């Protein structure tokens, strides 16, 4: 295990050298060593056949704050009921929990979580629904839940700070439709966000978007030595998760990615897709494409709905176009097939 309590500050390059993140030729130096590759819980070798020089983590994360494969397509629609006026009521439960989690092989981070996971669950509703979010603070610090969207001031999750052991119920109408987010707004704000208290919040239009394979990617990072800089970058917390286990997609099928940038400490993040272009729906609040590109930038809190289809089969990489973010974990692969075999 990497000792993050070392008396000397550990730089992100030190972390690479120490092998928490193994670079090309260091951990897998020969074919003989390759035969000893670790395997994940599914029995698959860790390391993709299209691995660009194995410039990725080596080993298996066993106590991650979520399963990146499951989280990708996991939407929490809440407990649904119908109000007397016909409006849909959705009730959600978010509990703040302190939890030590393994975010990269051998790298343990003392996270603050919603429902024990980072990011928190992806909450999903339809525009016009009444939402009730029951927040219980089971953590050791005061927290809140601040939702992006239109709602009353007293439901903004800023001034009604919830002390440990206490609870608060947020109630508002889901609007406008689009891709939003939620995060703790207790101070110091950047610490409460960087520790892991955030998630995606999807509000569907009353007339749904066209059918598609839908995925959520929350762009985040971790400052493992508390120096105000990230040592690890990812889509959905675990660096290189979709590189080690590529996302299998079907050729010609519409792909829709809900991408939210919740990275702290770095002003900007980005998404670049190889061998293809995508439509960008900024904040997802309009149904007409704002851009058709292969690279898009996201400021802190910014989010886009991305849509694309693959014309060809094979592995197509996606990653931040800030190269250092890519090398420190924010990259993955869409593996395009004619048929999906499970």
User: What residues make contact with Cu ion under the rule CB under 5 A?
Assistant: 143, 184, 186, 192, 197
The Cα–Cα gap between 133 and 294 comes to 36
CB 91 within 8 A of CB 78: yes
CB of 86 to Cu ion, least distance (A): 36
Peptide bond into 119 cis (omega under 30): yes
Rounded to a whole number of angstroms, the minimum distance from the CB of residue 137 to Cu ion is 9
Nearest approach, Cβ of residue 175 and Cu ion (Å): 25
What SS3 state is found at 69? helix
Nearer to Cu ion, 97 or 131 (CB): 97
Of 54 and 113, nearer to Cu ion (C-beta) is 113
Pick 162 or 331: Cβ nearer Cu ion: 162
Instruction: Return the closest-CA partner of residue 259 out of 277, 276, 235, 232.
Output: 235
Token look-up 């990072």 returns 221
Do residues 83 and 112 touch, judged by C-beta distance below 8 A? no
Cα(317)–Cα(307) distance, integer angstroms: 16
Maximum distance among all alpha carbons in the chain?
A: 68
Closest CB 22 distance from Cu ion, rounded Å: 34
Nearest residue (CB) to Cu ion, 94 versus 184:
184
State the minimum distance, in angstroms, from the CB of residue 34 to Cu ion.
44
**145 vs 100, 132, 157, 187, CA distance in Å?**
21, 12, 5, 12
- How far CA 241 is from CA of 106, 127, 129, 289, in Å, comes to 15, 32, 34, 29
Q: Is the separation of the CB atoms in 198 and 185 below 8 Å?
A: no
Of 58 and 194, nearer to Cu ion (C-beta) is: 194
Length of the chain: 342
- As measured in angstroms, the least distance from the Cβ of 198 to Cu ion is 10
| Closest CB 150 distance from Cu ion, rounded Å | 23
Phi and psi at residue 203, in whole multiples of 5°?
-115, 110
Q: Closest CB to Cu ion among 139 and 332? A: 139
CB of 120 to Cu ion, least distance (A): 12
For the bound state, the minimum distance from the C-beta of residue 165 to Cu ion, rounded and expressed in Å, comes to 14
- Cβ proximity to Cu ion: between 52 and 228 the closer is 228
Q: By CB neighbour count within 10 A (0-12 exposed, 13-18 middle, 19+ buried), where does 170 fall?
A: buried
> Of 133 and 215, which CB lies nearer to Cu ion in the complex structure?
133
Instruction: Say whether 155 sits in a helix, a strand or coil.
Output: helix
Nearer to Cu ion, 12 or 143 (CB): 143
Q: Please state, in angstroms and rounded to a whole number, the distance separating the CA atoms of residues 131 and 313.
A: 41
Report yes or no: 151 and 178 within 8 Å, Cβ to Cβ. Answer: no
């Amino acid at each position: 295990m990497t000792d993050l309590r070392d008396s000397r500050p550990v730089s992100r390059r030190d972390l690479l050298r120490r092998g928490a993140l193994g670079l090309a030729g260091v951990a897998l130096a020969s074919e003989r060593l390759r035969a000893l590759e670790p395997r994940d819980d599914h029995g698959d070798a860790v390391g993709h056949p299209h691995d660009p020089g194995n410039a990725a983590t080596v080993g298996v994360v066993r106590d991650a704050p979520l399963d990146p494969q499951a989280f990708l397509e996991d939407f929490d629609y809440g407990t649904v009921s119908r109000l007397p006026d016909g409006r849909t009521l959705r009730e959600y439960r978010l509990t703040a929990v302190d939890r030590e989690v393994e975010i990269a092989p051998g790298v343990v981070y003392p996270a603050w979580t919603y429902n024990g996971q980072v990011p928190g669950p992806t909450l999903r509703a339809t525009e016009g629904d009444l939402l009730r979010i029951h927040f219980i603070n089971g953590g050791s610090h005061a927290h809140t839940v601040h939702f992006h969207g239109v709602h009353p001031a007293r439901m903004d999750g800023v001034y009604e700070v919830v002390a440990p052991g206490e609870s608060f119920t947020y109630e508002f109408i889901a609007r406008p439709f689009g891709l939003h987010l939620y995060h703790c707004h207790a101070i110091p704000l950047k610490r409460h966000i960087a520790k892991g208290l955030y998630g995606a919040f999807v509000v569907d239009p009353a007339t749904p978007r066209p059918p598609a394979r839908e995925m959520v990617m929350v762009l985040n990072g971790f400052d493992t030595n508390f120096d105000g800089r990230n040592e690890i970058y990812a889509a959905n917390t675990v660096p290189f998760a979709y590189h080690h286990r590529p996302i299998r997609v079907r050729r010609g099928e519409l792909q829709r990615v809900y991408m939210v940038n919740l990275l702290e400490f770095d002003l900007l993040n980005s998404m670049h897709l190889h061998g293809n272009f995508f439509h960008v729906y900024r904040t997802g609040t309009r149904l007409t494409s704002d851009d058709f590109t292969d690279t898009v930038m996201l400021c802190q809190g910014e989010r886009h709905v991305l849509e694309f289809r693959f014309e060809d089969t094979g592995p197509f990489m996606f990653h931040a176009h800030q190269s250092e973010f890519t090398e420190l974990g924010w990259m993955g692969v869409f593996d395009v097939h004619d048929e999906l075999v499970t």
